[in-house]
Structure 1
């Protein structure tokens, strides 16, 4: 394997990488960086978590001309979260290059602030199709002198429905630009886009880091719509994830499920397109700091999320295509770690399940609740212990003790609430380390 210096990067860039704990290139970086430095158009097919972001950022930084004041590189991402993630990487790697200026342009942020920055010196613009189109229409973003165009996660960008915006943006760029396209999959729309707008591109396909098969244990849980919520709660109680993302099909379903989980005592929050940008950033900060254990999200909102410590992904609603499935479960099993992905499938989901299994070229193991994890040997004592959630315990207890009086049940709920508050307070005082056993779940003793 070659090192970064042998790939053609400068000593200054290599030193910056070392300062950030990056010593050796990943396979996608080893293949892409020399091609990009040699001015080739590149189509790279690689999963998230393979290091693809650095594969295009590093050579672009090398080739920038700081003396020029106009935007030289444009990176288009499908979501605000991914745009912010890329921006953070660029700023981290250009910390020693004070002369390089970066702008993130996405919806939900003060457009006037973006306009003010665009009036000054900006070398790299990272944004979402909608906001970039808005700036082009306003005349506040000019791409006539652009040198480098990057389409990141192109398959998801087109899947969401941004083809028209992407083509409008490309039409404003010079024909002589260098175009780089990165995508986890290569559906027909992406291939057609590449044929139309790229010049004799080099093709890269990284197979060795397929997160869907190697780092993530995948299971299907057969259930019904009526039983789905209770089944999810039981698996959460059994697995006790450190951090988990729960995917729902719509914003409404995500919000409804989050409220249900919170009412049962789970540390949960929601992430979807109806939230303001400040609220989204607040939710993500709490999730990254492990102040909440469960994040209930929609596909679009969770694009580009890269959170350390996500141990589980639950597909509460089955994705309708292989691409979405791959992107969802790619939120876990990252950076050499392992993860668990569980997909809840109802009888009406059989068509989508078959399509996913066909797409990943394998059968996903079915998992029954009784065999989800090894049961404790002392099952009798286990059953006598309080439920992991005080509120759920109170509900279960009142259902099994028909002789309880109303006042007794009120006392149970009051006691449960106090227990929950005490345990949550203890959980927040803990440092962010990955707990073991029952301590993995905050406020749930």
Structure 2
């Protein structure tokens, strides 16, 4: 792997603070557009990426989301275009429609003063007839998802003969989503004489395979970060009872007076539930997930960008490509199943030198996963104290007093209401009663079932005598509520051997080793799957130890997506390349339907009844 990367020419020059876009030999129309967008100095990926792309070199750009890579390839792409030719000359592939729309929007802004230049985005969920009509009328830059690009190629409505630059944006994500064959098919149809630009957050072996096959003497531009997460982001986590997460989230919104925020969940069902809860409480919230039609998604994003909606609840895949300025906070309602998702999530706040907040609500089954995230990001996240109901009442009172003060000082028409107090006195109410009633109506704060409760996990452990703690023998798997399911005793009271406890004797340690008394002794050839219990069906899952998957990942995905109790899931046998898991016969169809096209640990998986 290291040899493969060393074979690529790498540039890692520091960027001088005084460097400007003029220094990069960018044309006047682009400079004018960049100025209108408020940019004065190029970001590191732009400063190092634009010159070699303008020089006609193939480039590999390794950078995280939010580093300005769209302009890094968008500016040279625009400089390349021959306006007189109405054929597609640049093709950009993106993993999701949201990212495709975002890239198209940014390139259109950069092309503001390039008169006659046309950009078209093509993706699933949008009218293919409209796209065909637009392509036939002549476009210069096409931005699309691999599947829809392939559709147009097969229909001959998108011809690649005139493509001079091919760009793969977030290539690692496209590979994780299963688009490798589509990407290779598209690249094989490209003209031999072209530039190929690839941007990826990671340099995995599949990425390097593509670069070796389809790029010529590429330049590697690597934006190195000492930390994966932004120092401008205040990261705090709260250990919360699962049933109280919405309540705690609302208290945090009030405590910090958050105006615009993103809330992330692991499942589509959870998104809908949280949106409903927030709307009932009076918050302007909307959801975003894969089941929405494109028109609905566009409507949701339009309201969020305009501030009509101030809380957007989304799954990781649906949120791919969301780029909204001035997001006050990111709230991890569910802890992500993949460490990189955490980095992508919180990177949507604290941008452009501004500060942001990232709050993570950790349930009893998520503590181990969150520790792994901290190890991955190399950042110690502080544990927060959950605000009490009295804290929120005090804050709202203080804000109400401030609002009254501002109204009295600034509003000149208060005399219109002079008679109101007198009229209410005549109706028999005291001044104290009137003020209290007005404050209550204004604040809208009511006591609920959580008002007098301790919502932290510490209290929950004391109530149960520590039975569910990570180190006291309790299960740490998502949805497991009964320790006995994987604990020291089986349902009939007998003891289970080491292979039936926790992650099992064939599970993985965090360093990748096997766990148990006879560590490393067994291979897949030595092992036989355990006997299936009555009324259980064994499923094959196309992910295994080589993907660093744990039983908790399997249980969390199946239980969360199919909405079944985690405790009903039976034996889990993890092999090198696949996993076998037992589920009740009556939920097999539900599990297969729910997991179709879904991911575990960020990898798209195939699940079917084991032969």
- TM-score for the superposition, normalised by structure 1: 0.81
Among 17, 39, 50, which residue is 2:34 paired with?
A: 17
Q: Residue 365 of structure 2: SS of its match in structure 1?
A: helix
1:442 is matched with none
Shift in CA distance, 351/146, structure 1 to aligned 2, threshold 3 Å: farther
2:213 is matched with 196
Say whether 1:308 aligns with 2:361: no
Say whether 1:106 aligns with 2:111: no
Q: Residue 191 of structure 2: SS of its match in structure 1?
A: coil
1:247 is matched with 264
**Alignment deviations for residues 203-222 of structure 1 (CA, whole Å, 9 cap, x no partner):** 11223596713221112222
Say whether 1:140 aligns with 2:157: yes
**Alignment deviations for residues 396-438 of structure 1 (CA, whole Å, 9 cap, x no partner):** 69999xxxxxxxxxxxxxxxxxxxxxxxxxxxxxxxxxxxxxx
**Alignment deviations for residues 354-399 of structure 1 (CA, whole Å, 9 cap, x no partner):** 332232123222222149xx969968977x9759973x61646999
1:160 is matched with 177
Say whether 1:58 aligns with 2:75: yes
Deviation at 1:127, TM superposition (A): 1.0
Deviation at 1:302, TM superposition (A): 1.0
Among 434, 446, 452, which residue is 1:393 paired with?
A: 446
Deviation at 1:57, TM superposition (A): 0.6
Q: Which deviates more from structure 2 when the two are superposed, residues 284-293 or residues 352-361?
A: 352-361
Deviation at 1:295, TM superposition (A): 0.6
Q: Structure 2 CA distance, aligned partners of 1:397 and 1:361?
A: 34
2:297 is matched with 280
Among 344, 348, 356, which residue is 1:327 paired with?
A: 344
Q: Structure 1 CA distance, aligned partners of 2:252 and 2:396?
A: 20
The within-5 A match list for 1:22-421 is 22-207=39-224, 212-370=229-387, 386=440, 390=444, 393=446, 395=448
Deviation at 1:257, TM superposition (A): 1.1
Q: What are the ranges of 5 or more consecutive residues in structure 1 without an aligned counterpart?
A: 401-445
Q: Structure 2 CA distance, aligned partners of 1:380 and 1:330?
A: 30
**Alignment deviations for residues 275-328 of structure 1 (CA, whole Å, 9 cap, x no partner):** 121111111111112112211111111111111221110111111222211111
**Alignment deviations for residues 332-368 of structure 1 (CA, whole Å, 9 cap, x no partner):** 1112211111122223223432332232123222222
Q: Residue 30 of structure 2: SS of its match in structure 1?
A: helix
Deviation at 1:195, TM superposition (A): 3.2
Q: Structure 1 CA distance, aligned partners of 2:244 and 2:37?
A: 47
Q: Structure 1 CA distance, aligned partners of 2:130 and 2:21?
A: 36
Q: Structure 1 CA distance, aligned partners of 2:303 and 2:374?
A: 34
Q: Structure 2 CA distance, aligned partners of 1:355 and 1:210?
A: 15
Q: Residue 185 of structure 1: SS of its match in structure 2?
A: coil
- TM-score for the superposition, normalised by structure 2: 0.60
- The structure, 1 or 2, with the larger RCO (C-alpha pairs under 8 Å, 6+ apart) is 1
Q: Structure 2 CA distance, aligned partners of 1:229 and 1:376?
A: 15
Contact 1:50 1:209 (8 Å CA) reproduced: no
Contact 1:269 1:295 (8 Å CA) reproduced: yes
**Alignment deviations for residues 217-250 of structure 1 (CA, whole Å, 9 cap, x no partner):** 1122222322322222222222221101101111
Contact 2:228 2:377 (8 Å CA) reproduced: no
Q: Residue 393 of structure 1: SS of its match in structure 2?
A: coil
Contact 2:227 2:377 (8 Å CA) reproduced: no
Contact 2:32 2:113 (8 Å CA) reproduced: no
**Aligned-residue RMSD, C-alpha:** 3.0
Q: What are the ranges of 5 or more consecutive residues in structure 2 without an aligned counterpart?
A: 1-15, 399-435, 454-611
What is the number of residues matched between the two proteins? Answer: 398
